[in-house]
Structure 1
Amino acid sequence: MKRVTARRTYSYLGPAGTFTEAALDQVADARGQDRRAVHNVGEALADVLEGRSDAAMIAIENSIEGGVSTTQDALATLPGLRIVGEYLVPVNFVLVAPRGTALSHVQVIAAHPVAYAQCHGWLGTHLPTHSHVPAASNVASAIGMLDGSLPVQAAIAAPGVVKHLDVDVLAEGIGDNAQAVTRFVLVTRTTTAPAPTGADKTSLIVELPNDHPGSLLEMLEQFSTRGINLSLIQSRPIGDELGRYRFVIDADGHIEHERMADALLGIRRFSPRVVFLGSYPRADRQIVQYPERYSDEIFVEARDWLRAILSGEPEA
């Protein structure tokens, strides 16, 4: 008898044609499965926590704009979530219009504010007298243009929009930075971390115990004294009073590595609140390098040495 495999559902920021959907396209396990388009990060994570979806793809960092604050704050405050993978999507934009529209006829443009900010150079050169109407998303700008809900002649959108909407592309590659990239993470309910690959990243959120000179240095030393590189450290206000911050951290390595586990124990002793977000393969698959003195074997040998002393064994 043929075994029937249960279908999985993945939430993503919709509608179809967004950069988030492009990130979801990279997930092998999501191909041929059900997709659920949502309106924002909060809805995507609620889908996961409440069981409507098995996983959600959300943007967490942009190479131009930095960390996505809504995502970081949600992950800090919603228990029961775990990052299991990351994906990189090049960010480039196209200018689209209804069929038959000429670039010379464009006076008003719809665009998501972040996309609009990344296209200032091209717009200033080619449409210096245009005006801007904000849209909820890159795809929403094109939909609003077509259905008449936005009083515009053109829209800035992701290239994937042409697969779903009947539009003309007036210009391609209109972003100011050709190297712009957005980092996405796949989030599930709390589960065990994927097995180490040697090219891994660990994400966590750490609160400082109190505001005193050197407190941030004390936190960072938990990683530096164990040979762990931090690829991201970003502060976010906790929100209960001025001067209180949490730190979003990406550290090179996996929780199953002795050096990382030891660092997290140090962080847990130091911080009143630590949120472990996950250990998962890096999107670039770059092998994590570290000095030999921080290898797992060195940590194991040191622990065995201490255990022998405590048990009264004679030194070799």
Structure 2
Amino acid sequence: MPAADLSYSYLGPAGTFTEAALAQVTAAQGASWRPVNNIGEALDDVVGGVSIAAMLAIENTVEGGVAAVLDALASIPDLRIVGEYLVPVRFALVVRPGVGLDTVRAVAAHPVAYAQCRVWLHEHLPSHTQLPAASNVQAAQFLAEHEGDLAQAAIATPTAGARFGLTTLAEDIGDNPNAMTRFVLVARAGSVPLPAPTGADKTSIVADLPSDRPGALLELLEQFATRGVNLSLLHSRPIGDELGRYRFVIDLDGHLDDARVADALLGVRRFSPRVLFLGSYPRADGRPVAAAEAHDDVVYAEARSWLEELRRS
């Protein structure tokens, strides 16, 4: 299928950080991009075949994992992460022309963006009210199109003010100058091939704890530790059937085709009543994943060869 016939969904409108992440996808160039209003709509597009993939924010350096995305990946079957992308996060406070900082009583903002600007807001607008928005750009768009409503300002992307004819009162209002959001490109299982190992890869899974008992989490983590597999994300989410029951969304260093990773996943599968494989894909930072000598693929191959010799003797 030619690229022009494909569609990619992302949290809109145009100008969001999610669109900036999608712009990094080589395969998406020349395809149609479909802005959507929320995470559920983006994944509905993927499941229903409207789009070949959707770009979703999954983790932020300030707020950690995005719970709505983690829960969706854990509950919707047959989804695969096929790539990850990093976008630096910068925020500006925008207002309608003529509005000053001393007249701002309410600020429209996406909840994640709002959380990353708390220090600046507390210092400059200590008595303001927060009005949630579906995206940073939508906050600015709503402000521009609904004069007289509650919000007098919006936290938005640096380019949103000019896009909607708003005035930028303050730039770089984020609390952390190193803030970064990690995005994942999610497709239907089987719709695209599993990316080949590059030596700088990440694998994502979801694993339920078998029971609420002492040592259960330790036993899960030992499946990785004993095989020299490093974890870069461990996020707990409630299963929802009763209190004390949790599942974990896990990112680990390495590819499914790495012997130590495959062996660790076998251990998790024997231990956990439910394991979802979400994909193996290249790391966005390109950092090589090095295994300790005892966990190198060659060592696993030699051990299997030794075992086969024992069986033949």
Output the amino acid matched with 2:53. A
Equivalent residue number for residue 189 of structure 1: 188
Q: C-alpha separation between the residues in 2 aligned to 1:41 and 1:67?
A: 14
Aligned pairs, how many?
A: 310
Output the amino acid matched with 1:115. A
Indicate yes or no: 2:26 matched with 1:28: yes
Equivalent residue number for residue 174 of structure 1: 173
8 Å Cα contact 2:4-2:32 kept in structure 1: no
SS in 2 for 1:194: coil
8 Å Cα contact 2:140-2:161 kept in structure 1: no
Using the aligned pairs only, state the percent identity.
60
SS in 2 for 1:159: coil
Distance 1:57 1:5, change over 3 A: closer
SS in 2 for 1:226: coil
Equivalent residue number for residue 11 of structure 2: 13
Equivalent residue number for residue 308 of structure 1: 309
SS in 1 for 2:44: helix
Equivalent residue number for residue 283 of structure 2: 282
So what's the TM-score if we normalise by structure 1? 0.92
SS in 1 for 2:266: helix
Q: C-alpha separation between the residues in 2 aligned to 1:237 and 1:255?
A: 26
Equivalent residue number for residue 210 of structure 2: 209
Q: C-alpha separation between the residues in 2 aligned to 1:105 and 1:235?
A: 41
Equivalent residue number for residue 38 of structure 2: 40
The counterpart of 2:66, out of the listed 54, 65, 68, is: 68
- Mean Cα deviation higher: 93-102 or 41-50: 93-102
Deviation digits for residues 44-83 of structure 1, max 9, x if unmatched?
A: 1110111000000001111111111111111111111100
Equivalent residue number for residue 121 of structure 2: 123
Unaligned runs of 5+ in 2: none
- Mean Cα deviation higher: 132-141 or 285-294: 132-141
8 Å Cα contact 1:12-1:20 kept in structure 2: yes
Q: C-alpha separation between the residues in 2 aligned to 1:5 and 1:283?
A: 22
Q: C-alpha separation between the residues in 1 aligned to 2:101 and 2:293?
A: 59
Equivalent residue number for residue 242 of structure 2: 241
Q: C-alpha separation between the residues in 1 aligned to 2:143 and 2:4?
A: 39
The Cα of 1:106 is off from its aligned counterpart by 3.2
Deviation digits for residues 185-212 of structure 1, max 9, x if unmatched?
A: 0001113320111110000001122222
The Cα of 1:14 is off from its aligned counterpart by 0.9
Q: Give me the CA root mean square deviation.
A: 1.8
Q: C-alpha separation between the residues in 2 aligned to 1:33 and 1:125?
A: 44
- The structure with the larger Rg is 1
Equivalent residue number for residue 81 of structure 1: 79
The Cα of 1:307 is off from its aligned counterpart by 1.3
Q: C-alpha separation between the residues in 2 aligned to 1:99 and 1:30?
A: 37
Equivalent residue number for residue 154 of structure 1: 153
Deviation digits for residues 22-47 of structure 1, max 9, x if unmatched?
A: 11111122123211111111111110
Unaligned runs of 5+ in 1: none
Q: C-alpha separation between the residues in 2 aligned to 1:294 and 1:164?
A: 52
The Cα of 1:101 is off from its aligned counterpart by 3.6
The Cα of 1:135 is off from its aligned counterpart by 2.3
Distance 1:11 1:24, change over 3 A: same
So what's the TM-score if we normalise by structure 2? 0.93
Deviation digits for residues 116-156 of structure 1, max 9, x if unmatched?
A: 22222222333344333332321221111111174222211
8 Å Cα contact 1:58-1:186 kept in structure 2: yes
8 Å Cα contact 1:61-1:67 kept in structure 2: yes
SS in 2 for 1:206: strand
The Cα of 1:223 is off from its aligned counterpart by 0.8
Output the amino acid matched with 1:122. W
Distance 1:270 1:128, change over 3 A: closer
8 Å Cα contact 2:4-2:31 kept in structure 1: no
Output the amino acid matched with 2:291. Y
Output the amino acid matched with 2:114. Y
Q: C-alpha separation between the residues in 1 aligned to 2:20 and 2:39?
A: 16
8 Å Cα contact 1:17-1:163 kept in structure 2: no
Q: C-alpha separation between the residues in 2 aligned to 1:262 and 1:126?
A: 53
